[in-house]
Amino acid sequence: MEMENRTVVSEFILLGIPNTEGHETLLFIGFLAFYLCTLLGNLLIFSAILVDSRLHTPMYLFLCNLSVLDIGFASISTPKLLFNLWTKSRTISLGGCMSQIFFFQFLGSTECLIYTVMAFDRYVAICHPLRYLIIMNRKVCAILTAGSWISGSFHATILTSLTFTLPYCGPNAVDYFFCDIFPVVKLACADTYVIETVTFTNTGVVPMTCFSLILLSYIRIVYSILKMKSGEGRRKAASTCASHLTVVTLFFGPCAVIYTEPELSKVVATVVQIFGDVATHMLNPVIYTLRNKEVKGALRKLRGGQMTAR
């Protein structure tokens, strides 16, 4: 009885991306390129905001946090996937699997909350421009930022603890390219109803609550934009929201597909997951750079400073 109630699995085997046998080198090059672009793009955005004092505003503070989250999110599974593709090894330790699940939930829920905070920031800026600096003061920004990170950590701790209090006696083959809660709990040698229910509720409630708040913010924003008499004012207000709306769509789109379509084929689900985990976090810096003159200016200033230093 004692052995039955104890986790005896010391490592898991990641079955990887389906139908890709023989293409490991090509996949390695592709994922490495995406990963390096993600790191470079987000580090440039982060550095440019830190260097340019004109960007030390709430909007860019939250964008800094988003860049950190994008770097962290891309680093959860990609380095291990690259290692497995290069060495043709598929194993991951129990601790490594726990870390992937924890940081996936932690950074995912924190990013979801940061997007919500960014939507609130845009709502205040457009709907209450005269009171913007009073409402979005340093203390409020610090509370909103810290609250997002702390809430994300609590969320991840609860789900990870519930996942690994279950006994894992074998088999240990995870039918995915990284450790996620649902593929892992399928391997538990115990009733998983509670953890599956809690996980589905939490992974559904957090994104849906955030998405509803974002949607509510943008309904108010659109109403305020339509009331503006100046065409230039309308264009400027819409421009400040366009980048955020685009990255929100890229973030919530894959989440909605994966968690609302449980019968999705493994190949399609994997492609959607890869897009959400890899491509989205690479595209975020591009989206904010292309549509934001202030960020472009900060990047040029950063580049000029580097050239002067040389």
The rounded percent of the chain whose pLDDT value lies above 90 is: 37
Give residue 152's domain range.
Answer: 11-309
309 has pLDDT over 70: no
Instruction: Please check the confidence at residue 81 and state whether its pLDDT lies above 80.
Output: yes
Distance from C-alpha of 79 to C-alpha of 67, rounded to nearest angstrom = 18
Give the count of beta carbons closer than 10 Å to the beta carbon of residue 2.
Answer: 5
Angle CA(65)–CA(72)–CA(300) in degrees, nearest 5? 55
pLDDT for the residue 2: 42
- β-pairing verdict for 11-14 and 91-93: antiparallel
pLDDT at 4 over 90: no
Q: For position 293, what pLDDT does the model report?
A: 74
Mean pLDDT of 183-187: 89
What is the number of domains present in the chain?
A: 1
User: Which secondary structure element, helix H or strand E, spans residue 91, and what is its range?
Assistant: strand 91-93
Q: What is the pTM of this model?
A: 0.87
The verdict on residue 6 lying in a domain is: no
Q: Is residue 195 one of the residues assigned to a domain?
A: yes
Nearest to 31 by CA among 68, 72, 91, 77: 77
Within a domain: residue 79?
yes
Residue 72 lies in a domain: yes
CATH number at residue 62: 1.20.1070.10
- Confidence label for 132 from pLDDT (cuts 50, 70 and 90): very high
For the chain, percent of residues with pLDDT exceeding 70: 91
Residue 1 lies in a domain: no
In a domain, 118, yes or no: yes
